[in-house]
Amino acid sequence: MNAEFIAVGTEILLGDIANSHARFLSLEFAKLGIGVYFHTAVGDHLGRIVDQLKLALDRSQVIVITGGLGPTDDDLTRKAVADACRLSLAYDEEAFQALIVPYFERLGRSYLDVHKRQAERIGDAVFLPNSRGTAPGQYLEWEGRHLFLLPGPPLEMQGMYNDEVKPILERIAGSGSITSRVLHLFGIGESAAELKVLDLLRVQSNPTIAPLAGEGEMLFRITAKAETKEEALALIAPVEKEITDRLGHYIYGYDEDTLSLIVFRRLLEMGAKAGFAESCTGGLLSSMLVEIPGSSDVFAGSLVAYQNEVKVEQLGVSEAVIMNDGAVSEETAKQMAQGIRDRLKCDFGVSVTGIAGPTGGTAEKPVGLVYVAATDGKTTKVAKHVFSGSRTQVRVRAAKAALKQLLDLLNDTEVKI
């Protein structure tokens, strides 16, 4: 059984709102073992919606249409489904009184005649209650196809899916599970990583391997389909091991892990605190860590030191080093890390200094040159990077590189602080 999603709304095509439905529904369908083959967005135009529905009806067994269920003239989903399936569209007074009127009564408001459009039933479709809004959904079984019409607002759509749609899908889908394992890598590009496992990619069937590029990192998603999640994980295990044997040095986490989350957990396990000294990242490194609830348990604080005078006066960087090596140099990064550790009296000091661009680079020190350092007072690790991309991309990649530098030092530190 395969499925596809159609998001209706010109605002999606214009970029005014993001189509968050696709990710939510894809994750949910995977849990049920239903393969999703297509995501589509179409504007508020009856002819184009009908054309897209006809295409979907020809190639998919389960079709979810989100949006276009409101009471206004541009809410065309009900009409489009009726036309595509050659079915009647008729007002249902009983449904209106049961599903729509109570919503207005709870709010102490009066409904308008235009809201009756939301009680127009497509053929013999079943209405799906919406406890969070005025637009009920509909479920239509037509010529072996299963169509679900869901409201556009994400909270309404997700609530209706969980309450009404999921039980139906569980019944029609039967057994089966699509399960994925995600390996997160840092320090190797997508092309280089793919070359390491090219033989596996060429013979993949079940499980499948998908290399995906991220900002400054990349991942492998291994996906298997089986009757149960346990059986799917058993299929994934030998493939994961093979990839780990080849690329384990670059793997830092799994599934929902992020670099900042892994660093947070490691610091928490050690009972340690870290402080950051940032130049080109301008606080971005600190922001990545403090996004995690409870980060105050492991994060002492930070200092954004852009000007050389701040590096010297606040972090103790040697004026001679600034003059001879420059603000963007291995020795400056090293002294910044040591300085923030000493100033904040924390266990680990981390620094990042570089040229984010688009100007400021030279032949010797090009735009994208970044040094990151991490120290525990005894050992200091320093790494040089040259990142490509926009100013924002360089800053994001530099911040992640600093987190990885700290993680490498933490992993070499076995004892608790």
How far is the C-alpha of 139 from the C-alpha of 62, rounded, in Å? Answer: 11
**Percent of the chain beyond pLDDT 70?**
99
Least confident of 32-36, 88-92, 192-196, 252-256: 32-36
Q: Are 410 and 267 in contact (CB under 8 A)?
A: yes
How far is the C-alpha of 301 from the C-alpha of 283, rounded, in Å? Answer: 10
In which band, very low, low, confident or very high, does the pLDDT at 414 lie, cut at 50, 70 and 90? low
Which residue, 399, 315, 290, 317, is CA-closest to 354? Answer: 399
How far is the C-alpha of 203 from the C-alpha of 90, rounded, in Å? Answer: 53
Q: Is residue 175 pLDDT above 80, yes or no?
A: no
Residue 308 backbone dihedrals phi, psi, to 5 degrees? -60, -35
CATH (one of 3.50.50.60, 3.40.980.10, 3.30.70.100, 3.40.1190.20) for 2-173: 3.40.980.10
Contacts of 17 (CB under 8 A, 6+ apart): 9, 11
Taking every pair of Cα atoms in the chain, the longest distance, rounded to a whole number of angstroms, is 84
In the chain, what are the domain boundaries?
2-173, 177-254, 259-411
**H/E element holding 222?**
strand 217-226
CATH 3.90.1150.30 assigned to domain 259-411? The reply is: no
pLDDT of residue 404: 96
Rounded to two decimals, the pTM is 0.73
What is the bridge-based pairing of β-strands 35-42 and 2-8? parallel
* Average pLDDT value for residue range 58-84: 97
* Average pLDDT value for residue range 233-237: 97
In 3-state terms the chain splits into helix, strand, coil percentages (rounded to 5) of 45, 25, 30
Q: Is residue 60 pLDDT above 80, yes or no?
A: yes
| 249-274 core/surface letters (b: 16 or more CB in 10 A; e: else) | ebbbbeeebbbbbbbbebbeebebbb
May I ask the CATH architecture of the domain 177-254?
2-Layer Sandwich (3.30)
Question: Do the domains spanning 2-173 and 259-411 agree at the CATH topology level?
Answer: no
**Structure-token match 């490691």, residue found:** 266
Which residue, 292, 300, 403, is CA-closest to 344? Answer: 300
